[in-house]
Structure 1
Amino acid sequence: MTDFRTRVADAEAALRELFPETPLQLNEHLSKRWDAQIWLKREDLTPVRSYKIRGAFNFMRKRLAGGDTTSRFCCASAGNHAQGFAFACRHFGLEGRVFMPVTTPQQKIDKTRVFGGSAVEIELTGDFFDDCYAAAKAYAADSGAAMVPPFDHEDIVEGQASVALEVERQLGAMPDLMVLPVGGGGLSSGVTRYVSEGTGSAPQLLFVEPEGAPSLRTSLERGERVKLKQIDGFVDGAAVAEIGALPLETLSRFRPEDVLLAPEGRLCQTMLEMLNLEGIVLEPAGALAIDALRSLGEAVRGKTVVLVVSGGNFDFERLPDVKERALRYEGLKKYFILRLPQRPGALRDFLHLLGPNDDVARFEYLKKSARDFGSILLGLETTDAANFASLFERLDAQGFVYQDITENRIMADLLI
């Protein structure tokens, strides 16, 4: 056994102080759909509903085992890392301080407080992660507290790699394929090192990132670590602008094509499917590996596949947004700016053009003082995406002027 695998085994054994190994479940629905053996590694079933507890616990355990007298720790996080950190602090009886953006949802603040209890203080600062990260670093420097990084540290990587050890033991061997979600790269690099240093047959590894935050894929394409100038933060558990330096050292041997990109709208479809059909509550990042099946398709036929379900910390207040994104991705909901003539009967003429399965979801005048035309924000839902094509033909034939703003991000963010 290599030194890394030995350290991972030590970390995994120590984790049993906190919780039993997470289940590896054969999912009948996905297996039948993709004609493969699809296993889910349910990291959403840890005490904090994500794998992040593994790395945070291992970091603190090793600091304490090494004779470090530090009794105060800190971290910066707006989500799963904060909750794992808080749980570990309470377990070890350590003082902890979590720096979170002011914009953090109250649900995540409350859960972090519950997991940490009296051992953890929460400080809200700044609007973005970079702001609270800088505040945490300053606090660590001033107070002597040990800062627990979310992914870019050897002890964190070792802790996350314990996922692979459990999979190997539970399955009795390594699968043909493992699909790993990627944010900062702690989990993906840890699993990669663990399986590559084994003596048996290593599985094929594929990675999946949010389409709006492809930090690993972009870095592989350019051959260097890249910090993205802009990201879509919807997949908050994996929307990282810059892959970790240490993880990238391990992952740099992969091709850009080994990193799949999950469109945020399609990811919402996957979340709703797993909730409605399987009763599994997933956060956006937790659905990444399952969603990758839609990209792989026939490539998984007949294979044994393990998908790492990385987290289930979903705030149901976000459910309307998830449904909205899913409908728009499927082409079942669109938004328009419609120029309607300011004459009697114009609205009736427009409504008569709608099909029997077209539903007006939003209707709002944007310019009420116009003399000849009124601009209207119009939202339509339908049961078949093809219905919009025939609607457009009828609108064009009757001379209606309209603009589809569904994919116009600036207009959509401003008006929708």
Structure 2
Amino acid sequence: MTQFALAAQAATRALRQLFPETPLQRNDYLSARYEADIWLKREDLTPVRSYKLRGAFNAMRKVRAEAPDQTHFVCASAGNHAQGMAFACRHFGVQGTIFMPVTTPQQKIDKTRAFGGPNVTIELLGDYFDQTLAAAQTFCAEKGAHFLAPFDDQDVIEGQASVGVELLAQLGRAPDLVVLPVGGGGLSSGVTGYLRAAAPETQFRFVEPLGGASLLAALNAGHPVKLPRVNSFVDGAAVAKLGDLTWQCLNWATPDQVLLAPEDRICITMLEMLNVEGIVLEPAGALSIDVLPQLAEEIRGKTVVCVTSGGNFDFERLPEVKERGQRYAGLKKYFILRMPQRPGALREFLSMLGPDDDISRFEYLKKSARNFGSVLIGIETKRAESFAEFTGRMDAADFSYRDITDDEALAEFLV
């Protein structure tokens, strides 16, 4: 057993004073669907609904053991790391200052404050996270506090490794495959670091959001690189650059072990798990399940553990998730039409809709000095094939239209 593995086991034992191990649950629905033995490691069921509490607790525990006089901790986070640190601050009775961007949703601010209580002060600074991080680090240096990094910290990585310690003990045998979401790399560094020592036969697949593939970029370049642009929808894993320490832990991996999950497809997985299994997952928490179709041939007949990393989902986002999922599945589209300004034109257009088609949005801009008006229309259907039939009927009738569903700039502005 390696020194890291022993440290991970010690971290796991220490965590028991904070919360019991999270469940490892066999999922019958997914197992039957993929003809495999599929288990979910439910990190969405920690007290703060994500695994981040593990690393924050372990780092704080070790700092306090080495420097008992250190009673002030600082972090920059708008999400799960902030909540994990807040919970740990209250547990240890220390002061925490948490910097969040000004744009942070009130729900996240309120939850962080609830977990930390009087032990936590929240500072809202910066429109963008880089500004928030810089302010937090300056404040930390001025106050002599300890900066608690979200992933690029050895003690944080050890804490996240407790996920691997638990799942191996709970399963009672080495799984064939563990599927891990990746953001900054703390969770995947910890779990693989432990399992590669304790269960060397286990294989791994890493999942990143398509718009934030920092691990894949690092593996292709041979070192961590900063992505020029990051899609923030999967906020729990949308990291522009892999950490230096986490890179050292993961540089053995190969690019073909990394799978990319399109943000809109993740929405379908979130809705499926909610509607079929009653499991609430945030976008990052659904990553490991989302790629199972890509692994279907490989995992048949095997034991697979998917780590569901978090369940901090704001239900005010549900309409957006449904919308994105429908668009990805081809069940909802937006068009701009040039509608002839003549009697009966609208009735003629409506007659082209099929029995499964439903208008979800209709905006008509009539300009009396022109022979045509512009229409923005959103259509939902039960079969993706219906749209080919619908556009075919419009083509036959010489209606002029433009499908803007996949035009990101235009759809964002108009829809």
Give the TM-score category using the shorter length.
Answer: over 0.9
Give the distance between the partners of 1:112 and 1:294, measured in 2 at CA: 35
Query: Aligned partners of 2:284 and 2:143: how far apart in 1?
Result: 33
Distance 1:408 1:219 in 2: 29
**What is residue 314 of structure 1 aligned with on the other side?**
313
Aligned-partner residue type, residue 301 of structure 2: G
Shift of 1:205: 0.5
- Is 2:267 the partner of 1:291? no
- Matched with 2:144 is 144
Specify the alignment match of 2:248 in structure 1.
Answer: 249
Tell me how far apart the structure 2 counterparts of residues 53 and 151 of structure 1 sit (CA, whole Å): 12
Aligned counterparts, 1:88-237, within 5 A? 88-198=88-198, 200-237=199-236
CA distance in 2, matches of 1:67, 1:414: 53
* Paired residue secondary structure (2:322): helix
Against the structure 1 CA distance between its residues 370 and 181, is the aligned structure 2 distance closer, same or farther, given a 3 Å change threshold?
farther
Q: Which residue of 1 aligns with 2:29?
A: 29
The answer to whether the 8 Å contact 1:167/1:174 transfers is: no
Where do 5+ consecutive residues of structure 1 fail to align? none
Q: Distance in 1 between matches of 2:366 and 2:186?
A: 51
Shift of 1:67: 2.6
Could you tell me whether the CA contact under 8 Å between 1:55 and 1:157 is conserved in 2?
A: yes
Alignment-derived partner of residue 13 in structure 2: 13
The Cα shift of 1:277 comes to 0.9
Distance 1:167 1:397, change over 3 A: same
**Does 1:87 find its partner at 2:91?**
no
Structure 1 residues 253 and 370: CA distance shift in structure 2, 3 A: farther
Unaligned runs of 5+ in 2: none
After TM superposition, the score normalised by the length of structure 1 is 0.98
Please, what TM-score do these two structures have when normalized by structure 2? 0.98
Aligned to 1:350: 349
- What do residues 97-135 of structure 1 show as CA deviations (whole Å, max 9, x unaligned)? 111111111111111000000000111111221121111
**Cα deviation, residue 367, structure 1:** 6.2
Q: Aligned to 1:242, what secondary structure does the other structure show?
A: coil
Cα drift, residue 295 of structure 1: 1.5
Q: Residues 371, 292 of structure 1: CA spacing in aligned structure 2 closer, same or farther, 3 A cutoff?
A: same
Aligned residues: 415
Secondary structure, aligned partner of 1:261: strand
SS in 2 for 1:317: helix
Partner SS state of residue 12, structure 2: helix
Partner of 1:271: 270
Percent identical among aligned pairs is 63
Contact 1:75 1:149 in 2 (8 A): yes
Deviation at 1:370, TM superposition (A): 5.2
1:2 to partner: Cα distance: 1.4
Question: Partner amino acid for 1:101?
Answer: P
- Give the C-alpha shift of residue 270 in structure 1: 0.7
Q: Deviations over 1:333-382 (max 9, x none)?
A: 00011111112211111111111111111111356455121111110111
What one-letter code is carried by the residue in structure 1 that aligns with 2:153?
A: H
Q: Which amino acid aligns with 1:215?
A: S
CA RMSD in angstroms comes to: 1.1
C-alpha distance in 2, partners of 1:149/1:366? 52
CA contact (8 A) 1:405 1:411 kept: yes
Amino acid at match of 1:320: P
CA shift for structure 1 position 264? 1.1
User: Matched residues in 2 for 1:117 and 1:274: separation?
Assistant: 32
Counterparts of 1:100 and 1:67 in 2: how far apart (Å)?
27
Deviations 1:56-89, CA, capped at 9 Å, x for gaps: 0111100011134211111000110000000000
Equivalent residue letter for 1:72: H
- Report the counterpart of residue 338 of structure 1 in structure 2: 337
Residues 1:71 and 2:101 are matched in the alignment: no
1:48-67 pair list within 5 angstroms: 48-67=48-67
